[in-house]
Amino acid sequence: MKKVILIATLFFSVCMFANAQKSVKVAAAANLRDVFMEIKEAYEKENPGVKIDVTFGSSGNFVQQILNGASFDFFMAADKSFPLKLQNKGATYGKVSTYIYGKLAVWSNTIDVKKGLDVLKTNAVKRISVANPETAPYGERAIELLKKQNIYDEVKAKIIYGDNISAAAQYAFTGNTEIGFIALSLAMSPEMKGKGKCYVVPQNLYTPIEQACVLIKKNSRNIAAEKFMKNIISHNYDALWIKYGYSK
Protein backbone atom coordinates (compact mmCIF):
# COMPACT_ATOMS: atom_id res chain seq x y z
CA MET A 1 0.00 0.00 0.00
CA LYS A 2 2.82 2.38 0.92
CA LYS A 3 4.50 1.59 -2.40
CA VAL A 4 1.31 2.45 -4.31
CA ILE A 5 1.00 5.75 -2.43
CA LEU A 6 4.66 6.56 -3.15
CA ILE A 7 4.26 5.86 -6.87
CA ALA A 8 1.08 7.96 -6.99
CA THR A 9 2.84 10.79 -5.19
CA LEU A 10 5.78 10.68 -7.59
CA PHE A 11 3.42 10.59 -10.59
CA PHE A 12 1.52 13.59 -9.24
CA SER A 13 4.78 15.50 -8.68
CA VAL A 14 5.97 14.76 -12.21
CA CYS A 15 2.65 15.95 -13.64
CA MET A 16 2.79 19.14 -11.59
CA PHE A 17 6.34 19.77 -12.77
CA ALA A 18 5.39 19.21 -16.40
CA ASN A 19 2.44 21.57 -16.13
CA ALA A 20 4.58 24.22 -14.45
CA GLN A 21 7.09 23.99 -17.27
CA LYS A 22 4.34 24.90 -19.76
CA SER A 23 3.76 28.24 -18.10
CA VAL A 24 6.06 31.15 -19.00
CA LYS A 25 6.03 34.25 -16.82
CA VAL A 26 7.32 37.22 -18.80
CA ALA A 27 8.44 40.64 -17.60
CA ALA A 28 8.08 42.90 -20.64
CA ALA A 29 8.91 46.55 -21.25
CA ALA A 30 5.83 48.75 -21.45
CA ASN A 31 6.50 49.74 -25.07
CA LEU A 32 5.83 46.11 -26.07
CA ARG A 33 2.24 46.05 -24.86
CA ASP A 34 0.35 45.79 -28.15
CA VAL A 35 2.83 43.89 -30.27
CA PHE A 36 3.47 41.40 -27.46
CA MET A 37 -0.22 40.61 -27.07
CA GLU A 38 -0.39 39.74 -30.78
CA ILE A 39 2.75 37.60 -30.48
CA LYS A 40 1.33 35.90 -27.39
CA GLU A 41 -1.93 35.08 -29.18
CA ALA A 42 -0.10 33.66 -32.20
CA TYR A 43 2.36 31.67 -30.07
CA GLU A 44 -0.27 30.11 -27.82
CA LYS A 45 -2.28 29.12 -30.90
CA GLU A 46 0.80 27.45 -32.40
CA ASN A 47 1.72 25.80 -29.09
CA PRO A 48 -1.39 24.38 -27.42
CA GLY A 49 -0.96 23.86 -23.70
CA VAL A 50 1.59 26.65 -23.29
CA LYS A 51 0.44 29.67 -21.27
CA ILE A 52 2.29 32.98 -21.60
CA ASP A 53 1.66 35.22 -18.58
CA VAL A 54 2.96 38.76 -19.06
CA THR A 55 3.48 41.76 -16.82
CA PHE A 56 4.29 45.12 -18.43
CA GLY A 57 6.37 47.83 -16.76
CA SER A 58 9.62 49.77 -16.80
CA SER A 59 12.80 47.80 -17.41
CA GLY A 60 14.63 49.31 -14.44
CA ASN A 61 11.86 48.41 -12.02
CA PHE A 62 11.84 44.84 -13.32
CA VAL A 63 15.57 44.53 -12.61
CA GLN A 64 14.96 45.36 -8.96
CA GLN A 65 11.95 43.04 -8.75
CA ILE A 66 13.88 40.14 -10.24
CA LEU A 67 16.87 40.70 -7.95
CA ASN A 68 14.42 40.70 -5.05
CA GLY A 69 13.04 37.31 -6.06
CA ALA A 70 10.13 38.08 -8.41
CA SER A 71 9.12 34.84 -10.11
CA PHE A 72 9.70 35.68 -13.79
CA ASP A 73 11.06 33.21 -16.33
CA PHE A 74 11.91 35.59 -19.14
CA PHE A 75 12.79 39.30 -19.31
CA MET A 76 12.18 41.40 -22.44
CA ALA A 77 13.73 44.80 -21.73
CA ALA A 78 13.57 48.12 -23.57
CA ASP A 79 17.34 48.13 -24.02
CA LYS A 80 20.37 45.92 -23.51
CA SER A 81 21.82 47.44 -20.34
CA PHE A 82 19.16 46.11 -17.96
CA PRO A 83 19.45 42.41 -18.94
CA LEU A 84 23.22 42.82 -18.72
CA LYS A 85 22.84 44.16 -15.17
CA LEU A 86 20.97 41.01 -14.23
CA GLN A 87 23.57 38.86 -15.96
CA ASN A 88 26.35 40.60 -14.04
CA LYS A 89 24.48 39.84 -10.80
CA GLY A 90 24.27 36.15 -11.70
CA ALA A 91 20.46 36.25 -11.98
CA THR A 92 20.23 34.89 -15.54
CA TYR A 93 21.30 31.94 -17.63
CA GLY A 94 22.18 31.77 -21.29
CA LYS A 95 23.19 34.84 -23.25
CA VAL A 96 21.57 38.26 -23.52
CA SER A 97 20.07 38.50 -27.01
CA THR A 98 18.86 41.49 -29.01
CA TYR A 99 15.38 40.89 -30.38
CA ILE A 100 14.43 44.24 -31.94
CA TYR A 101 15.32 47.95 -32.25
CA GLY A 102 12.85 50.53 -31.00
CA LYS A 103 12.21 54.06 -32.27
CA LEU A 104 11.56 57.25 -30.34
CA ALA A 105 8.67 59.51 -31.35
CA VAL A 106 7.12 62.82 -30.34
CA TRP A 107 3.32 62.74 -30.19
CA SER A 108 0.59 65.30 -29.57
CA ASN A 109 -3.19 65.34 -29.63
CA THR A 110 -3.40 69.09 -30.22
CA ILE A 111 -0.14 70.42 -31.68
CA ASP A 112 1.45 69.81 -35.08
CA VAL A 113 4.77 68.23 -34.15
CA LYS A 114 5.69 67.06 -37.64
CA LYS A 115 8.17 69.92 -38.17
CA GLY A 116 10.41 68.63 -35.42
CA LEU A 117 11.77 69.41 -31.98
CA ASP A 118 11.66 73.22 -32.15
CA VAL A 119 7.96 73.09 -31.34
CA LEU A 120 8.90 72.07 -27.79
CA LYS A 121 10.18 75.60 -27.12
CA THR A 122 6.97 77.37 -28.13
CA ASN A 123 4.53 78.91 -25.65
CA ALA A 124 1.83 76.52 -26.87
CA VAL A 125 3.70 73.67 -25.17
CA LYS A 126 3.43 73.97 -21.41
CA ARG A 127 3.91 70.31 -20.44
CA ILE A 128 5.96 67.52 -21.97
CA SER A 129 5.62 63.92 -20.79
CA VAL A 130 8.71 61.73 -20.61
CA ALA A 131 9.18 58.27 -19.10
CA ASN A 132 11.38 58.18 -16.01
CA PRO A 133 14.93 58.18 -17.45
CA GLU A 134 16.26 56.26 -14.44
CA THR A 135 14.17 53.18 -15.14
CA ALA A 136 12.80 53.55 -18.69
CA PRO A 137 15.24 53.51 -21.65
CA TYR A 138 12.90 55.50 -23.91
CA GLY A 139 12.82 58.23 -21.28
CA GLU A 140 16.61 58.13 -20.99
CA ARG A 141 16.92 58.50 -24.78
CA ALA A 142 14.48 61.42 -24.77
CA ILE A 143 16.56 63.33 -22.21
CA GLU A 144 19.75 62.42 -24.09
CA LEU A 145 18.20 63.80 -27.28
CA LEU A 146 17.11 67.06 -25.66
CA LYS A 147 20.58 67.62 -24.24
CA LYS A 148 22.35 66.81 -27.51
CA GLN A 149 20.08 69.24 -29.35
CA ASN A 150 20.72 71.93 -26.72
CA ILE A 151 17.00 72.08 -25.89
CA TYR A 152 16.93 70.51 -22.43
CA ASP A 153 17.72 73.59 -20.34
CA GLU A 154 15.02 75.55 -22.12
CA VAL A 155 12.27 72.95 -21.66
CA LYS A 156 13.22 71.04 -18.48
CA ALA A 157 10.67 72.98 -16.39
CA LYS A 158 7.93 71.67 -18.70
CA ILE A 159 8.79 68.00 -18.27
CA ILE A 160 6.44 65.69 -16.39
CA TYR A 161 7.78 62.20 -15.76
CA GLY A 162 5.74 59.03 -16.05
CA ASP A 163 6.61 55.72 -14.40
CA ASN A 164 7.09 54.09 -17.80
CA ILE A 165 6.65 54.81 -21.50
CA SER A 166 2.97 53.81 -21.47
CA ALA A 167 2.30 56.38 -18.74
CA ALA A 168 4.10 59.08 -20.74
CA ALA A 169 2.00 58.21 -23.79
CA GLN A 170 -1.20 58.22 -21.76
CA TYR A 171 -0.45 61.70 -20.41
CA ALA A 172 -0.19 63.02 -23.96
CA PHE A 173 -3.16 61.04 -25.24
CA THR A 174 -5.49 62.30 -22.51
CA GLY A 175 -4.30 65.90 -22.78
CA ASN A 176 -2.52 66.04 -19.43
CA THR A 177 0.51 67.12 -21.46
CA GLU A 178 0.53 68.87 -24.83
CA ILE A 179 3.36 66.67 -26.07
CA GLY A 180 4.80 63.30 -25.15
CA PHE A 181 8.04 61.51 -25.95
CA ILE A 182 6.83 57.99 -26.61
CA ALA A 183 7.79 54.75 -28.30
CA LEU A 184 6.76 54.73 -31.95
CA SER A 185 5.19 51.32 -31.24
CA LEU A 186 2.62 52.99 -28.96
CA ALA A 187 1.80 55.58 -31.62
CA MET A 188 1.12 52.61 -33.92
CA SER A 189 -1.17 50.92 -31.39
CA PRO A 190 -4.90 50.55 -32.14
CA GLU A 191 -5.65 53.09 -29.40
CA MET A 192 -3.47 55.86 -30.84
CA LYS A 193 -2.95 55.10 -34.53
CA GLY A 194 -4.53 57.69 -36.81
CA LYS A 195 -5.08 60.08 -33.93
CA GLY A 196 -3.06 63.16 -33.11
CA LYS A 197 0.23 64.10 -34.78
CA CYS A 198 3.45 62.11 -34.66
CA TYR A 199 7.07 63.00 -35.40
CA VAL A 200 9.47 60.06 -35.66
CA VAL A 201 12.81 61.22 -34.28
CA PRO A 202 15.68 60.32 -36.67
CA GLN A 203 17.51 57.37 -35.15
CA ASN A 204 20.92 58.96 -35.69
CA LEU A 205 20.07 61.62 -33.08
CA TYR A 206 20.11 59.27 -30.09
CA THR A 207 21.79 56.09 -28.92
CA PRO A 208 20.15 53.08 -30.63
CA ILE A 209 17.36 51.50 -28.60
CA GLU A 210 18.63 47.94 -28.76
CA GLN A 211 15.94 45.94 -27.02
CA ALA A 212 17.29 42.72 -25.55
CA CYS A 213 16.02 39.72 -23.62
CA VAL A 214 17.34 37.04 -21.30
CA LEU A 215 16.18 33.99 -19.36
CA ILE A 216 15.95 34.33 -15.59
CA LYS A 217 17.79 31.79 -13.44
CA LYS A 218 15.42 29.50 -11.55
CA ASN A 219 15.80 26.34 -9.47
CA SER A 220 14.99 24.27 -12.54
CA ARG A 221 15.10 24.96 -16.27
CA ASN A 222 11.89 26.09 -17.91
CA ILE A 223 12.02 24.47 -21.34
CA ALA A 224 8.87 26.32 -22.43
CA ALA A 225 10.55 29.66 -21.63
CA GLU A 226 13.65 28.66 -23.60
CA LYS A 227 11.52 27.74 -26.60
CA PHE A 228 9.58 31.00 -26.35
CA MET A 229 12.80 33.03 -26.29
CA LYS A 230 14.04 31.23 -29.42
CA ASN A 231 10.87 32.31 -31.19
CA ILE A 232 11.20 35.90 -29.98
CA ILE A 233 14.73 36.30 -31.34
CA SER A 234 13.89 34.50 -34.59
CA HIS A 235 12.32 36.08 -37.67
CA ASN A 236 8.95 34.44 -36.98
CA TYR A 237 7.27 37.70 -36.00
CA ASP A 238 9.01 40.18 -38.30
CA ALA A 239 5.70 41.25 -39.86
CA LEU A 240 4.29 42.13 -36.43
CA TRP A 241 7.42 44.04 -35.38
CA ILE A 242 7.31 46.08 -38.59
CA LYS A 243 3.58 46.72 -38.12
CA TYR A 244 4.36 48.43 -34.82
CA GLY A 245 7.25 50.52 -36.14
CA TYR A 246 10.22 48.50 -34.93
CA SER A 247 13.27 47.58 -36.98
CA LYS A 248 15.58 44.58 -37.00
- How does pLDDT run across 59-113, given as a tens digit for each residue? 999 999 999 999 999 999 999 999 999 999 999 999 999 999 999 999 999 999 9
With H, G, I as helix, E, B as strand and everything else as coil, classify residue 15.
Answer: helix
What integer is the mean pLDDT of 11-38? 76
User: For 81, how many CA atoms within 13 A lie in the half-sphere containing its CB?
Assistant: 13
Q: How many residues does the chain have?
A: 248
CA nearest neighbour of 199 among 104, 106, 103, 102:
106
Whole-prediction pTM = 0.88
